[in-house]
Every structure is written in C-alpha cells, then in structure tokens.
Amino acid sequence: MIHSYFHIHSEHSYDAKLPLEEIAKGAMACGFTRVGITDHLNYNDPPFLQNIYDSAAGVKALREKYPFMFLGVELTPIQKAQFDYIAKNGTREGYALPKGADRYGIELALTKQELMALGIRYAVGAAHWSIDTIGTEEAHGFEGTLREFYRQQMWLAEDERVTILGHPWYNGHGFWGEDLSVIPRSMQMELAAAVKENGKYVECNSGMLFNKYTGEKYRYQYAEMLREYFEMGIRVTYGSDSHRSYNNDRILEEQPLAGRAHEAMAKYLAAAGFKDGDFYTLQDSDLW
C-alpha cells in the first residue's frame, strides 16, 4: 500500500541517531522507491543551521550510491520575535517573550531561496508546540493549545516553503490522543480546504499514531480523516518520523509489526478505504 516515505530523521538532526546509510539500506529492504530525509530546522541559530548543513552534505554524498534518496527538511513554526532576536544576536540565549500582544507572529528558520541553495528539494511543515503563550495555564490548556495548533497549521498551509503538511493535528500533549472528534469538525474542514487551495500534500505519520498518547479509536479516526482529505482531492504522503531506529522507535512495543511501521498502519488505512496506489509518491515535478 505504501511505497515511499518523505519524513524521517538522520544522525544529523539534533534529536536523532539514525545513520543515513542505515536509512537507505532499510528502505531498500522494504522495497521503497523514494525516501526523503527531513532533519529538523527549528531555529535560525548556528547549531540548527549546522545540523541542516551536515544533513545536506550527507545526503549529497550518498545520492550517487542511493539515487532514490532526496533531501528535504522539517520546518517548525517559531515566534517571529524570537526569529528576529536570533537574527540580530546570533543566539537564542537571553531571549524573553515579548509582552503586550495576544498573538505572536510566526516565522520559519530560512527562506525558500536559502533552503534551495542548500540543495533541499521540499519541506515538511509541522506544528509541534504552542508559540502563542504568555506562560499562563490557560495558554497551555486544551482550548489554548487547540486554537494555537489550528492557527499554526493554517499558516503552514499557506506558506510557500511548505510542501507537505506534517502530522496534521499532532497529539497536542495528549489532549486529543484518544478521540479525534474533540477537535471541531469546522477546524478540520477549514484546514483541509486551505491545504487543497494551496496545493499542499498532507502526511500520514505512523510515528505520531503509535505513541503513548494514542489509542485504537484515535488511529481509526485519523485514518478516516485522511481518507476524507484524499476523497476531497488532497494527495496523502507517508512518513515514519523515526528518530533512532529504522524500525521506528516510536511504535509501541506491544505492536506485533513494530519493526515495519507502514505495515502496522495497514489495518487502519484499509478500514478507512485506502488501497494500493492511493498514497502519493513525490515526483520530480513536485520538487524544488
């Protein structure tokens, strides 16, 4: 059912340990036709920039041997004020949250031109945490987190740098990991409309679906949501989001297919109506 993936992290990402060649060999063993490396680029400070420089160099060196590998990146929204502070000072150290604003502006670490200059061919844009926070309990609660994840995802769906909307409706610290229906349907449909209008792809992320926050009900609901997006004309890609093992360290140990994330997904995807050929493989025309 799944023949390619476009979200996995290598040893060059700050939070990952997976050697690039191990990724390539694992992909070949599973019969994948295309693989995209998407190491994290969260901030525009020297450590994160160096990580992505190393990722770019590593993929470039291996592409002659493994031409099915492509260089991507995972971009995370940050506060525009923090981006500006880092640009001015060259570090995150000493940054303090600005006061007096209900909503903070959003930015990504590099421009599209800067990404392309590194040889990056596409970007996964993914919300991970609340940036609209003033340190209050309300901002970190269910309603505040929901509103902020919705805001970030809508912003990502409209940004020119984003190719794939990564792990839509990420678990939000477990707030909706048991029942996807707590997210208002209007939000889900507005996000789908924005993704479609802006020609983005949407990701099925097995690492997100097999973690301590999610249950069986949620996994079936999530597959059904992706199927609805698919039937709206939105192309769905796959990503394991693995960080430390090609066999996906995020899949729960009790899963019988823990070693092959895409196979563990099969029953949920099939129940939602997905069949072989439905998942999209990025083509050269889709890449920068």
Q: What CATH number does domain 4-286 carry, 3.20.20.140, 2.40.50.140, 3.40.50.720, 3.90.700.10?
A: 3.20.20.140
What is the pLDDT at residue 252?
44
Rounded alpha-carbon distances, angstroms, from residue 287 to 39, 164, 239: 17, 11, 17
> What pLDDT does residue 268 have?
96
Please say whether the beta carbons of 30 and 4 come within 8 A.
no
pLDDT mean for each 10 residues of the chain (288 residues): 92 91 89 95 97 98 96 96 95 84 83 98 92 56 87 97 96 82 96 98 91 88 97 96 63 43 87 96 96
pLDDT given for residue 255 in this prediction: 38
Instruction: Give the list of residues 6+ apart from residue 81 with CB closer than 8 angstroms, or none.
Output: 97, 98, 104, 105
Q: Measured between alpha carbons, how far is residue 159 from residues 82, 96, 133, 153, 166 in Å?
A: 19, 26, 22, 10, 13
The residue extents of the domains of the chain are: 4-286
The confidence score (pLDDT) of residue 249 equals 45
Q: Which residue from 2, 18, 129, 12 is spatially nearest to 73, judged by alpha carbons?
A: 12
Q: What is the DSSP letter of 142?
A: H
> What pLDDT is recorded for position 144?
83
pLDDT at res. 53: 98
User: How far apart are alpha carbons 174 and 186 in whole angstroms?
Assistant: 21
Q: Tens of pLDDT along 71-127?
A: 999 999 999 999 999 999 999 999 987 776 556 899 999 999 999 999 999 999 999
How many percent of the chain have pLDDT more than 70? 89
pLDDT of residue 256: 37
**Residue 133's pLDDT is what?**
52
